[in-house]
Amino acid sequence: MNKYLLPIASSFLFFLMSCSNSNQNNNAMNTTDSTENKDFKFLTEQFGDVKILRYQVPDFEQLSLNQKEYIYYLSEAALWGRDITFDQNFKYNLVVRRTLEEIYRKYNGDRNSESFKNFLVYMKRVWFSNGIHHHYSTEKLPTGFSKEYLAELINNSSEAKFPIQKNETKEDFINKISEIICNPETYKKRVFQDSSTDLITNSSNNFYEGVSQEEVEKYYSTINQPDTNHPFSIGINSKVVKENGKVTEQIWKKDGMYGKAIEKIVYYLELAKNVEENDKQKAYIDKLVSYYNTGDLKTWDEYNILWAEDTESLVDFVNGFIEVYGDPLGRKATWESVVNFKNLEATKRTKIISDNAQWFEDNSPVDDRFKKKEVKGVSAKVITVVALGGDCYPSTPIGINLPNADWIRKEHGSKSVTMENITYAYDQASLGNGSLEEFAYSPEEIELAKKYGPLAGNIHTDLHECLGHGSGQLLEGVSTEAMKNYHSTLEESRADLFALYYMMDPKMVELGLFTTLDFAKAEYSSYIRNGLMVQLARVDLGKDIEQAHMRNRQLIAKWCLEKGAKDSVIVKKIRDGKTYFVITDYLKLRTLFGELLKEMQRIKSTGDYDAGKNIVEKYGVKVDLELHKEIKERYAKLNLAPYGGFINPKLTLVKEGEVVKDVIIEYPDDFIKQMLEYSDNYSVLPDIN
């Protein structure tokens, strides 16, 4: 999310776990003892195109009682935002979810039929995606069953309490829900990307209703910033609608839209405030509560400043309307939460990076006009995640950099984190799955990946989040919204390129981050392999790439393949009918990364929309059909799921009377059970909002 600072920035960097990284053994993580993992089941099940994992929380028992209680309340606040995310993704998602869950509980028919098995897979995919659209591609999920079968399921669930609306008959309800779920031609995409037509009316998210893109853009163009040097993220916390023929906003706040859920979030934030570690935490929780109560964006900025400046607390959290990937205009933010505490040992490496932020900025290959003369407040840490919520659950990022507002970053700094117990869980769950051996060209490349890949991947994330998003500056008068619907792809590309360029710098060895630049070679090979091939397993055959991070990775890899063709920097090789891409000169590839970084920073700093659009469309969107078919076939033979997400640990408060004695952590392994528990215990919003 270091995107716009008005709408939001896109610096929570959903640098999601790539397919290629998921096959490496993270032997670099030193917070989880191998004996502790011997009997721990990281992978619990696989369905559709996803796998369900668990993650451990090392050292939780070593926290003080006060810290554990603080984490407990923050985790409860994280769980209460689930309904909000479902509803933001699509107006009828809560109706769909509640219908599916009632069928699951009450259906009296044959539960062993293929149709019912398909129903179960669909229900779990809806849970995983927080709605009826794929969490990554944003396309409508296929059902695997017919309208007629859905009607049978509903009619044979005699004791079910379906979300039938006032003045709606059961027959009307069945017709409506069947159309919503089973017709592939309605509500086709949650986030529509084709800028040649109306992005708002063609998108199925619940950020806008009854308005066109032209009307929305005109509405926001009339809102003046009170201070152009410190602009608010206008529109970040509202739905745009038309009332009595006039465009207006419904604000997400305690006494506004989503108020019942926000009231619960505030309740647990208030409890957390009473057991905070220090006064800084109390101060910014107060601000966050005030923001939720009022919806005031000035208060939101004040909260972010206080939060960003707290670099001392062990326990930390993200909670709010933060990332704008779900809005084609890059303005509306989806609700999310992550609760965590600092991994003190692993944070030593990120401290080295943040302490040297000015050196990295000064030595960047970008034009001096676009460099920050003084880098302020860059802090970085490695964290242990305890709870995921909203848009970060079940699928989660592996790195975060916040706040998103460029001016806050520039004047007050930002916090960057690498979620190492999450990456560790991915790696442990995918040991020996065969992906690396299938797509790496040589034994030497495989050995590099196994020996150096895990730590190299984590440091790439460190650099991407800590320095990449926070690097550079806009020229005076350039809007952070200048890139419009291409912003996310361009921003993720810029941050990735910053990390890739410095991975091969001797400074990495000098600082003690690497012992050898073979770490960089492992990451370069992984990145090119994934960007040109492996990630295509996630895309339906014949489709364009839609998701910002996937576009970013292909853009970089394809640009370097083309620009390095004269010197054969990356060579396409065919062996036994299989395609591979092999790096022949890592130093020349680093030079190419630097050249592209220079151009990406120029595009952002000058607000060159046309250049940004052209480079994304040329390199990041289109896929070679024959290669796509080949990769899909090769990946399918491995019987792997290209996406992963998590079951949360369960925290239980142990009390004697009113006195808290302990917080117990457990590791559930039943995805369905956790989803039903969350729906039973953390759901207060109306069916339709």
User: Per residue in 96-124, pLDDT tens?
Assistant: 999 999 999 999 999 999 999 999 999 99
Tokens of 593: 């990364």
pLDDT attached to residue 5:
20
Top-confidence residue, 32 or 490: 490
pLDDT over threshold 70, residue 10: no
Average pLDDT over residues 508-534: 97
pLDDT attached to residue 21:
38
**Over the stretch 307-316, which tens digit does the pLDDT of each residue have?**
999 999 999 9
Angstrom distance (rounded) from CA 66 to CA 662: 9
Average pLDDT over residues 115-137: 97
CB 205 within 8 A of CB 90: yes
pLDDT over threshold 60, residue 12: no
pLDDT attached to residue 24:
36
Residue 140 class from Cβ within 10 Å (0-12 exposed, 13-18 middle, 19+ buried)?
Answer: buried
pLDDT over threshold 60, residue 31: no
The domain locations on the chain are 31-82+257-646
CATH class of 31-82+257-646: alpha beta
List of residues 6+ apart from 436 with CB closer than 8 A: 20, 23, 24, 446, 449, 450
Average pLDDT over residues 649-675: 97
Q: How confident is residue 584, by pLDDT bands cut at 50, 70 and 90?
A: very high
Q: How confident is residue 30, by pLDDT bands cut at 50, 70 and 90?
A: very low
Q: What is the mean pLDDT of the chain?
A: 92
Average pLDDT over residues 411-419: 90
pLDDT attached to residue 550:
94
- Kindly state the percentage of the chain with pLDDT values over 90: 84
Average pLDDT over residues 432-455: 93
**Over the stretch 185-205, which tens digit does the pLDDT of each residue have?**
999 999 998 888 999 999 999
**Over the stretch 279-303, which tens digit does the pLDDT of each residue have?**
999 999 999 999 999 999 999 999 9
- Kindly state the percentage of the chain with pLDDT values over 70: 94
**C-alpha separations of 687 from 164, 190, 275, 326, 372 in Å:** 9, 19, 35, 21, 48
Q: How confident is residue 379, by pLDDT bands cut at 50, 70 and 90?
A: confident
**Over the stretch 208-265, which tens digit does the pLDDT of each residue have?**
999 999 999 999 999 989 888 899 999 999 999 999 999 999 999 999 999 999 999 9
pLDDT attached to residue 37:
59
Half-sphere exposure of 260 (CA within 13 A, CB side): 9
Angstrom distance (rounded) from CA 571 to CA 680: 54
Angstrom distance (rounded) from CA 131 to CA 133: 6
What's the predicted TM-score (pTM) here? Answer: 0.85
pLDDT over threshold 90, residue 33: no
Tokens of 148: 């007629």
**Over the stretch 610-626, which tens digit does the pLDDT of each residue have?**
999 999 999 999 999 99
Consecutive H or E run containing 263: helix 259-273
Average pLDDT over residues 433-461: 93
